[in-house]
Amino acid sequence: MQRISNLEDGLRVPSEIVVAKHSPGEGPLPADPADFAEEIHQRVDLFEIWQELLKSKDEKIKQRAVEKLTEMRYKGASALEEERPQIVIDIDSAVARRAAQGATE
């Protein structure tokens, strides 16, 4: 394990904080988010983790856990996927009119 400390100038150097090193994965990650969650749950009880998050003294952590659980309940599996930003192209009405006139001429 590597240790890291904070210096007065804000830099971190190896020495005081313990950082765990993780081994490489046993195989490729499951493509399906539900399968991934099941793999994790077989190793760590996710119900206990969620309970710890919901009982956190940090209100932001607690709030985010409640939001995520509510979202998962009402949106289903789609809530686990990243929402893609919607691109809206707003064309000025005068430009749109000119384009329509040019198409008819």
3-state class of 83 per DSSP?
Answer: coil
Contacts of 39 (CB under 8 A, 6+ apart): 30
Give, to the nearest 10 degrees, the angle between helix 59-75 and helix 46-54: 130
Average pLDDT, the chain: 77
State residue 65's pLDDT score: 93
Question: pLDDT (tens digit, 9 = 90+) per residue, 29-49?
Answer: 888 888 988 999 999 999 999
Average pLDDT of the segment spanning 63-73: 90
| DSSP conformation class of 16 | S
Answer yes or no: pTM beyond 0.95: no
Using the predicted structure, report yes or no on whether residue 24 has a pLDDT greater than 60. yes
Using the predicted structure, report yes or no on whether residue 56 has a pLDDT greater than 70. yes
What are the domain boundaries of the chain? Answer: 2-81
